[in-house]
Structure 1
Amino acid sequence: MNAQTSFDRSTLRRLAGRALSAWRGVAIVLCASLSVNQPVHADKIRDLAQVAGVRTNQLIGYGLVVGLDGSGDQTTQAPFTTQSLENMLVQFGITVPANVRPQLKNAAAVTVTAQLPAFAKPGQMIDVTVASIGNAKSIRGGELLMTPLRGADGNVYAMAQGSVVVGGITASGKSGSSVQVNISASGRVPNGATVERAVASSFTNGGDLVLNLNTADFTTATRIAEAINRTYGAGTASAMDGGSVSVRGPLDPAQRVAWMGAIQGLEVAPGDAPARVVVNSRTGTVVIGSEVRVTPAAVAHGSIQVTITETPQVSQPGPFSKGGQTVVVPQSDIQVSEDGAHMFKFGPGTNLDTIVRAVNQVGASPTDLISILQALKQAGALHAELVVI
C-alpha cells in the first residue's frame, strides 16, 4: 500500500512538472507575440502632418511708441521719427511750422509684427511684437499708437495699439558705465491687435483634403494612408508622395470639420529618423541621431599648445660712461606642448551610446568632436549625413 502510494505521488509530481513547463512555454510565446504586435512608438496624425490650406499669415506695420522716459530716438540721427509724428499731428488738425524741428526724446519709431492664425475672425485679439528701428535706448513703459498691420498682399488685416511690455532693462551712469539685462529695445503687446479682416481658406471648399507631413518620409506617408484606410475603408486615403497624403472628404463644411478631427486623432507609428549628425560650428553644438552607425575605425586626436612668454630685460649703461642710455631688451620664451593623443576604436555597427561614451572618456570638447566626426566622414566610417550649419 505504501509503495503504491509513493508511486502515485511521484507520478503526479512528474506530470505536474511537465504541465508547469508547458504553461511556461505558452506564457513565453504569448509575451513574445504581444511584444511583437505592440507598436514601439505611435503619434497622432495631428502631430505628424498639417492640413493643406490651414496656415498662419505674417503681418507687419510701422508705428510710433510714445511716453518714453527720455530713452526715445535722437531726432538728429533718426529724422523719420519726427516726420512720422508731424504727419500724425496733421491728421488731428495740428500744423507744425516749417521752420520748427521738434526735438523728441519720448518717442520711438518701431516695427510691429504679428502672426495671424488660421480661421481668425474679425474682432478676435492677437499678440504683437514691437521692435525699435531707430536708436532708442529703451521702449519700456511706452504706448504703441494705432498701427495698421498689413499682409503680403498689402491689405490691412489688423489694427494694433496698447502698452508695450518689455522684459529687458538698461541702466547707465554719467561716467559711461552701463548695465544691460536682455533687450529693452523690443517688447510685446499681449492681445494688442484686433483682427479686422478674415483670410479666405481653401478648407471649406469641396474636394479632397491633403495632409502635408511635417517631415517628409515615404514610410510615414504610407503608414498614415494605411491607418486611415484600415479605419474608414479602402480607398479613403492615398499617399501622393513622401510628403503628402490625399484624403477623400465630404462636401458639407460641418462634416469636413468633424471628419478631419477624427482623422487627426488616429495614431500612427512614424518611420525611423534618418541617420544624421547636425553640427553647429558657431556654438559648438553637436546633435547625433539614434540611427547613426560607425564601421570599424581607430581614432587618435590630440591638441598642440603654443605658449609665448615675454620677459623684457633692462640694460643699464656702465658707470661714468658718456652717452650711455638705458635700453629695454625684449626676451621671448616660446614653448610648444602637445597633449597626449588618446586613441579609441569603434567596432562594427557602433551605435550612438558607444560613440558618446568613447568621446566622453577621452575628454574631447565639442570642437574636438566636430573634428573627429568630419574625419570619420572623410574616411567613410561614418554612415550618416553630416550637416554643418
Structure 2
Amino acid sequence: MNIIDDLKWRGAINQATDLDGLKKLTEDKQIALYCGTDPTGDSLHIGHLIPFMILKRFQLAGHHPVIIIGGGTGAIGDPSGRKTERTLKTESQLEHNTTALTNQMKKLFGTENFTIVNNYEWLSKLNMIEFLRDYGKLFNLNTMLNKEVVASRLEAGISFTEFTYQILQAIDFLHLYRNNDVQLQIGGSDQWGNITSGIDLIHKIEGSDTEVYGLTIPLMLKSDGTKFGKTAGGAVWLDPKKTSPYEFYQFWINQDDRDVVKYLKYFTFLSKDEIDDLAEKVKAEPWKREAQRRLAEEVTKFVHGEEAVKEAERISKALFSGDVADLSVDEIEQGFKNMPSVDVENKKENIVIWLTDNGIEPSRRQARQDVSNGAIRINGEKVDDVDAEIDPSSHFDGKFVIVRKGKKHYFLARVK
C-alpha cells in the first residue's frame, strides 16, 4: 500500500495542498520531508507525538525524515493554538530544552536515514535588512492577516514578534528545500497557515512549478468530544521522569472501546489486517480488552522500548494478583506513584499498632478485625496474627512497606 493510501485508511490526513500530486511523487521516488517542534518545554507529550508518528511511517516506507528543533523560532513564539502571547524563554532554557528534545527524537527515529537540525543555525544569521528586503517583501499583509492563526488573535491583540512567526517558518521550508531536498512539510491542523506560507515563499523564489507539498493531521478528539492526551494528572509525557513507563502503559490500556481502534491506526505500525482483526475482537469480546493491551504494548515499545513493556506488564500483574514481593524498588516507585502513601519510622512494631498509628486503619479495633480476618497483606504475604511484628527494613532495600487491605486497596509506606 502506498504511504498516502495508508495514511488515508488510518484517517490521518486532514488537509493537503495536492494529495494526488504527493501520492505520485512518493510512488516515483523516495522523498525528504520534515516536521518541526519548538523547544518550549524539555519533553514532548503524546499530543505532540501524532505528527511525528506520521513522519515515522514515511521513514519506515523508505523516505527520509528531517526534524527541526526550533531554537530560532522557539525564541520568537508560535501564536498557533493560543489566545495570549507566549512568555519568551531564556537562552539557557532554550538550550536545555533543545538538547532534551533532540535526545527524544533520536530515540524515536534512530540514527539511520534521519536528519535533525536546529533552525537557529540559519535564522540567527539573518540581519534586519535581509529579512525585510529578501523575505518581508514577498509576504502580503492582507494574506497574513487572513491566516486563521493570526485572525483568531486580532481581537485580543498579537505582537509583531508573533505575527512574523509564519515568515520564519516559511524560511525554514525554503532552507530545507534548498539544502536537504525537502519537498513535504507535515504538521498539526493549526499549522496549515504556516505550511502554506512556506509553499508560497518557495514558489515565489524557486518558481511556481517547484514540487513542494503540505499535509496536516486532524485534531485528535476522544469519543466524548474532549481533547485527547489529557488525564486527571495532566499531560502524558514521553519523558519517563515526568510520566513513568508504567503510567504511560496504563494510559493506553485504559482507553475506551469507542476510541481504541482509531488509536491503533494512529499510534501503532500494525498492518490493516492486524487492526481489522483487533476491531472484530472489540465487538465480539470487549471484556478481554485485547485491543487495548496491544495498543499499550505497541506505543510503550515505540517510546520506551521492549524492556519498559515487560516492566509495565510485570507491575500490572503484581498489583492485580497481590504478589508484589518480587517487584524492584524502581517498579514500586512507578506502580505506587499515585496510590495512598505514608511516611513511617524505621522501627519494628506490632502490626495492629503500626497500622493504626500510621493511618492505614482508623482504629485498633478495626485493625485487629482486619488482621484476624486475613484482609491484610504485608509485602505480598497474608498476616492474620494480631501479635505479628512489622519490620520496615526487611524488604525492598528497607525503603518501602507495601500494605494491601482487601482485594483492591493498596497503601505504600515510605521508610524514613
Q: TM-score when scaled to structure 2?
A: 0.21
Which protein is bigger by CA-based radius of gyration? 1
Higher strand share: 1
Higher helix share: 2
Q: TM-score when scaled to structure 1?
A: 0.22
